[in-house]
Amino acid sequence: MGAIDSLMPNSALQHRTVRTLASAQVLSGVGVAGTVAAGSLLVSSITDSETLAGLAQTSAVLGAAALALPLARLTARGGRRLALSVGYTAGAIGSVFAILGGAQSNIFLMLLGTFMVGAASAAGYQARFAAIDLATDQTRAKQLSFVVWGSTIGAVTGPNLMQPAGNLAENFGLPRLVGPYLISATTLALATLVIFLFLKPDPYLVANKETVTKLEKGDTKKALKHIRNNPKALFAILSIAIGHVAMVSVMVMTPVHMAHVDVTLTIIGLVISIHVLGMYAFSPVVGALSDRLGRVRVIQIGLITLLLSTVVSGFARADDAYTLGVGLFLLGLGWSCTLIAGSALLSESVDSAFKASSQGASDLVMNLSGAAGGALAGVIIGTLSYGWLCFFAAVPVLALGLRSLKLR
């Protein structure tokens, strides 16, 4: 973490906050990223249907959406430490349900488990906002990006543990595909301990020590109205949501596409790892560019990158791991641009009274969009093809890019 200390000009508390959040993101990244490919393949195996394979990621994204506002309310009432601990704990418990569902070929338990694992994703998304509770305007995107960057190690490692995790599962007499959920149950429990023990004092409570914040249901509606009347805030949320739906829909169906030609789990895990590398590894660069070039410009760069990724991936053969790896790397990099610059733009575009509720609303919209994308992706690849899926994923990205040209 020495690199973080040398690049961040804030107080000792801010240094400690970012180190703690980044450490938790490493652990949660191992858990959540490792279940992405395994979840789709496991649901496909249980249901004997490729069309339903997307339900695993759809359920996980719905879980993240369902927890977005409750975690925001917990933050407003008890701080980031409480909210993040609850989210990671729910994810660990969900991993256990997924293990039981996979072992018993019970689709209900499996989807309940993936739904709860989504809570860990919700906690991870809110951790990026925790990094900027004490940030300055000049370094907001950079500091947010360091927490996103913290996911790199775990998220790249997770998919590559599919093979050894499968061996571990077999040693316990379980199906190989539940192996990644054994890993996630452990790492998410550890992430909870890191947050609970070391996120002190709470950055949100320190930043709002002079204000008593109560996030009631009405505040979320007011926040959404405030966003609708604010062109920059609305564009920020659309950027986050559309970048997410494009990423989720293409990423979650890539393992199913590759499985058509019996590609090994090791190769599938490698391709997903390359994708995750694009999502997180260059986050500090994206954050610095966002602070230097402006939020809208970096979002536009992200949209162009997403469009390029759909072209590269859409024309790749199922057994062409190299081209699919390039396409998914670009997919992750484009997502990184829209998420980091969009999150920074949202935080600085809304009034301070609406920040917590706007952040929760943003994550809710993002995850509902991702859930819809994951569900439709399974239908499209089951009835048409992976190439058509990439085409449909590009449509809203292109539309938002054209809209951005009119933004002042």
The CATH number assigned to the domain holding 269 equals 1.20.1250.20
Has residue 2 been placed in a domain? Answer: no
Q: Residue 145: its pLDDT value, please?
A: 77
Has residue 173 been placed in a domain? Answer: yes
Residue 352 has pLDDT above 70, yes or no: no
How does residue 83 score in pLDDT terms, banded at 50, 70 and 90?
A: very high
Residue 212 has pLDDT above 60, yes or no: no
Burial of 405 (0-12, 13-18, 19+ CB in 10 A): exposed
What average pLDDT does the structure give for the chain? 83
* DSSP codes of every residue in 62-101: HHHHHHHHHHHHHHHHH-HHHHHHHHHHHHHHHHHHHHHH
Has residue 5 been placed in a domain? Answer: no
Has residue 159 been placed in a domain? Answer: yes
Q: Residue 350: its pLDDT value, please?
A: 76
Q: Residue 39: its pLDDT value, please?
A: 83
* Least confident window among 263-267, 270-274, 400-404: 263-267
How does residue 219 score in pLDDT terms, banded at 50, 70 and 90?
A: low
- Compute the chain's Rg from CA coordinates: 20
Query: What integer is the mean pLDDT of 116-132?
Result: 85
With a CB cutoff of 8 Å and minimum separation 6, the contacts of 297 are: none
Has residue 363 been placed in a domain? Answer: yes
| Number of compact structural domains in the chain | 1
Query: What integer is the mean pLDDT of 54-65?
Result: 81
Query: What integer is the mean pLDDT of 38-60?
Result: 79
Has residue 49 been placed in a domain? Answer: yes
Number of H helices, E strands in the chain: 18, 0
pLDDT tens-digit readout, 97-110: 999 998 898 989 99
Q: Residue 261: its pLDDT value, please?
A: 73
| Per-range mean pLDDT, top range of 61-70, 73-82, 86-95 | 86-95
Residue 21 has pLDDT above 80, yes or no: yes
Q: Two tokens at 306? A: 């997403």
Q: How many Å apart are CA 242 and CA 303, to the nearest integer?
A: 9
Query: What integer is the mean pLDDT of 277-301?
Result: 88
Has residue 1 been placed in a domain? Answer: no
Range of the domain at 123: 10-404
